Amino acid sequence: MAGKGLGLLDRFSRLGVILSSGMHRVLLIILIGVFVAAILISFRLDQNISRHTNESFSPAKLHGDLGDAVVVKTGIFVNRLHDVRISAGTFSANGWLWMSWDKPGKDDWHRSRKLDIGSIDLINEIPGRGQFERLDPEPTASDVEGRLYHSIRFSSVFLMEAQDFRRFPFEKIRLPIEVGTDDHPTYRMIFVPDKKDSMISDRVNLPGYRYEGLKHKNFFYTANTLWGHEIPASELEPEPLSYPQLEWELNFRRSTSSSFVRLFLPLGAAMAALLFSLISHFKVSVQKISIPASILLVLAVLQDRWHRVLPPGLAYLTYMDKLFIFAYIVTVIVFAHSVFCVNLYHSASEDRQALLSAKMRHQQRRLASGICCGLLVGPIILWFT
């Protein structure tokens, strides 16, 4: 063991020669700065990439002259939620979906054309992954005079919306179930949410998150295409062809206690070990140098572990990314300073080692105090950047 320790110390001492001059320490600081700047610039360039818009979403028009449009009241009850895969952007859910509308009058278009629950689709469902069961073969009369009612039971896999993970691990998760139709444009059909009866079961749960409510978005969807149809431009005036869509959104926020235990506690323990390496004596040189080196590996493992939870290739830095970049910089500074001090201590004569040790321990205590302040203030600053 002693031989291995001396061999490790010898290797680190040779590395310390590189850092023994002020010029090389300045060069190290410049390299760290260039590395951090390269990361920030690369993410900034990815965020500035623009994309041509081929679709638009406008708020649904529910007042004024609706023409011949049938107003369809649509509601949902989510019974179960499972297999939520944030990294893949999918989740599974089952429940009930219903619609109700006025019975057709003599001149209404849906008197001669069938209108039922099959007229609407689950837009963000993955094709071939769902099961649907009509509770009634045909629309039935509602308890309210003059209205028809139809419903289905569904169980399917859905695609999430693009989530914003900039605040990870304090992010919000939105799980949408989108209802729409490509059979009837907005001049024939308009959705109205059934706010009163739409809800989720008490058994719906997402581990590690707390439920924040069921919201809805009602809009008209327009794409810059005629889907291959030859339609004269005069027939699309004054508005282009659009279709109704209604989105039911289950909102969750990550649990703070879960984030601290699973993510911040290991990071805090690594930073505490780093601080202890600064106050250790120079006579235990192997530990003084190997602890920061080991913490660099620990940080890499921790970062890889929680990155698996997120979708790959995010074009921006999360809050946790910023904290780890800060931790990497602090650890590299401590590692470089310890290598320099250990090399200087062992290269000095025995009569100067005591004086030199006291001077460098004072420097490292000051460095430890600065890191403590940085660990307290840094996360707050990074939160607002």
pLDDT at 55: 76
Angstrom distances, CA of residue 168 to CA of 49, 252, 263: 23, 13, 10
Report the pLDDT averaged over residues 64-82: 86
**If you average pLDDT over each of 6-15, 25-34, 88-97, 106-115, which comes out highest?**
88-97
**What confidence tens digit (pLDDT) does each residue in 150-193 have?**
899 999 999 998 899 999 999 999 999 999 988 888 888 899 99
pLDDT at 356: 76
Which secondary structure element, helix H or strand E, spans residue 40, and what is its range? helix 22-47
Q: In terms of CATH architecture, what is 56-254? A: Distorted Sandwich (2.70)
Q: In which band, very low, low, confident or very high, does the pLDDT at 347 lie, cut at 50, 70 and 90?
A: confident
pLDDT at 19: 47
CATH code of the region 2-47+258-383: 1.20.58.390
Pick from 99, 103, 128, 129: nearest CA to 190:
99
**Other CB atoms within 10 Å distance of the CB of residue 11:** 11
Report the pLDDT averaged over residues 281-293: 80
Q: In which band, very low, low, confident or very high, does the pLDDT at 249 lie, cut at 50, 70 and 90?
A: very high
Q: In which band, very low, low, confident or very high, does the pLDDT at 25 lie, cut at 50, 70 and 90?
A: low
**What confidence tens digit (pLDDT) does each residue in 51-66 have?**
677 777 778 877 766 6
What is the rounded CA–CA span in Å between residue 376 and residue 370? 10
Which secondary structure element, helix H or strand E, spans residue 215, and what is its range? strand 209-223
How far from chain centre, in Å, is Cα 143?
44
Q: Where in the chain are the domains?
A: 2-47+258-383, 56-254
The tokens of 366 are what?
């000051």
**What confidence tens digit (pLDDT) does each residue in 93-139 have?**
999 999 988 887 777 766 666 788 888 889 999 988 878 888 887 77
Query: Is 11's pLDDT higher than 60?
Result: no
pLDDT at 17: 46
Which secondary structure element, helix H or strand E, spans residue 154, and what is its range? strand 147-159
- 47-62 as b/e, with b when 16 or more CB fall inside 10 Å? eeeeeeeeeeeeebbe
Query: Is 14's pLDDT higher than 80?
Result: no
Per the CB < 8 A criterion, the answer to whether 241 and 225 are in contact is: no
Mean pLDDT, the chain, integer: 82
Percent pLDDT > 90 in the chain is 35
**What confidence tens digit (pLDDT) does each residue in 203-247 have?**
999 988 999 999 999 988 887 776 676 666 555 555 667 889 999
